[in-house]
Structure 1
Amino acid sequence: MSSQQEPVDEIVEPILPEIVDPPVRVPLKVEDWISVLVLAGLALITFINVIVRYMTDGSFAWTEEISVFLLIILTMTAGATAFVRNQHIRIEVYADGGPPQRRRRLAIIGNSIVLLFFVLLTILSGRMVFDDYTWGDTSPAIGVPNWWYTVWMPVLAGAITLRVAGILRRLLRDGK
C-alpha cells in the first residue's frame, strides 16, 4: 500500500447515524422483533401466494385476509417505536427549530394530542371487539371469528398509549 492511500475504514463514514434508544422500562426490542417477524410472515405468505398463482392460475383466498391483519400489527408496532424514538411524521423545521423551551412546549402539546387519540382508539376498538364477539361475526375467507383479528387493535393501541404516556411523563419531569 502506498503512503498516499488511506485505509478504507478511515475514509468511509456511516451513512445513517447510530440510533440510541431513550431510556424505557420495556425494551423497544419487543416491538422491533414483532415487526421483523410480522414482516417476514408477510413476505412468506406473499411469496407462497405468488408461486401458487403462477403454477396453478389460482390463488389462496386466505392470504389477503391474513396480510391485512399482519399489516395492521406491523403498523401499530412500528408506530410505537417511532413515537419513542421521535421518528414519527412531523414538520421538523417547525418542531425542532427555535429555543429549547418552545420545542419542549410543542413536544408536550403534540404528545398530549397523540395520547388522547390513542386512548380513544383503545376504548373504541375495544368496543368493536366486544361487538364482534357478541354478534359472532366471522371472516369472509377463513370463517374464523372476527374478534380473533380485531382484539389486537385495542391491545396494541393500549401499548402505544403507554409508550406515549411514558414520553409525556419524561417531558414533564425533565422540564422542572
Structure 2
Amino acid sequence: MADERHIPITSEEIAHSFDEPPAPVDLSVYAPEDWFVFVVFWVMAGAVFLQFFTRYVLNNSFAWTEEIAIYCLVVTVFVGSVMCVRLYRHIQVDFIYRLLPARAARVLATVADVINVSFFAYAAYLVWRYSSIISTERMVTVDLPKSIVFYSVLAGFALMALRAAHLAVVHWRQGHSVLERPEGTEPAES
C-alpha cells in the first residue's frame, strides 16, 4: 500500500476554491423535441407524485393520474428516442466492423443506415394506420382521444426516420460511420 500524502489546507483556501466562475452552459446541443420531452417528463413526474400523495397521504387517489403518467411515459420514450437517433446513441454492435476489411465495413454500415431509416419510416406508417383505426376511442378516466398519444408516437417515429436519414447522408459524405470508427466520430449536428 502506497503512502498517501495529504497536504494541509485551511478552511479559507477551501472556501476560495469555489471562487471559480461556473463553466458556460451550452444548450445548443438540444433540439426542439428534446425540450418537448423535458416538459412531458416533468408532467409525468408531477402526475406520479400526485398519485402517490393522494393514494398514501390522503388515502383517496385520483384515478386519472395513473393514466396520464402512463401516456406521458409512452410519449417520453418514443419522442425521447429521437435524441438517441440524432446523437447516434442507440445500442449498436460494432465488434464485427473491426474484423472486416474497410470496404466491407463501409458497405455493412451503409446497409445498417438504410435498415434504420426503413424501420423508422415503416414503424411511422404502421402507427399512422393504427391511429386512424382507433381515432374514435377515448381514454378511460380522462375524456380525451387516445389518438393524441399515438400521434405523438407517430411524430417520434417520423422524426427518428428523418434524423436517421440525415445521419445516413452525413455518414455517406464523410466516408465512415460511428460503427466503423467509434473512437473518432462525433455525432452529426442538426
TM-score bracket, normalised by the shorter chain, equals 0.7 to 0.9
**CA RMSD, Structure 1 to Structure 2 (Å):** 3.1
Cα deviation, residue 103, structure 1: 4.5
Alignment partner of 1:121 is 2:128: no
Q: How does 1:10-159 map to 2 (within 5 A)?
A: 28-92=30-94, 94=95, 97-98=98-99, 101-133=103-135, 136-159=136-159
Structure 1 contact 95–106 (Cα < 8 Å) conserved: no
Q: How many residues align?
A: 155
What TM-score results when the alignment is normalised by the length of structure 1?
0.73
Matched with 1:12 is none
Q: Distance in 2 between matches of 1:76 and 1:39?
A: 12
Structure 2 contact 81–156 (Cα < 8 Å) conserved: no
Q: Distance in 2 between matches of 1:167 and 1:70?
A: 28
Q: Distance in 1 between matches of 2:96 and 2:133?
A: 40
Structure 2: 5+ residue stretches without partners: 1-6, 15-25, 177-190
Matched with 1:160 is 160
Cα deviation, residue 156, structure 1: 1.6
Q: Distance in 1 between matches of 2:30 and 2:109?
A: 20
- Cα–Cα, structure 1 residues 36 and 104, in superposed 2: closer, same or farther, change >3 Å? farther
- Cα–Cα, structure 1 residues 175 and 44, in superposed 2: closer, same or farther, change >3 Å? same
Q: Distance in 2 between matches of 1:30 and 1:103?
A: 34
Q: Identify, as 1 or 2, the structure richer in helix.
A: 1
Runs ≥4 residues deviating over 6 A? none
Q: Give CA deviations for 1:50-89 in whole Å, capped at 9, x if unaligned.
A: 1111123222221222122211221123211112212111
Matched with 1:17 is none
Q: Distance in 2 between matches of 1:153 and 1:80?
A: 11
Cα deviation, residue 46, structure 1: 0.7
- SS of match in other structure, 2:134: helix
Structure 1 contact 69–149 (Cα < 8 Å) conserved: yes
What TM-score results when the alignment is normalised by the length of structure 2?
0.69
Cα deviation, residue 131, structure 1: 1.4
Q: Could you say which structure has the larger radius of gyration?
A: 2
Opposite residue 82 of structure 1, the aligned amino acid is: C
Identity of aligned residues (%): 22
Cα deviation, residue 101, structure 1: 4.4
Alignment partner of 1:172 is 2:172: yes
Cα deviation, residue 143, structure 1: 2.9
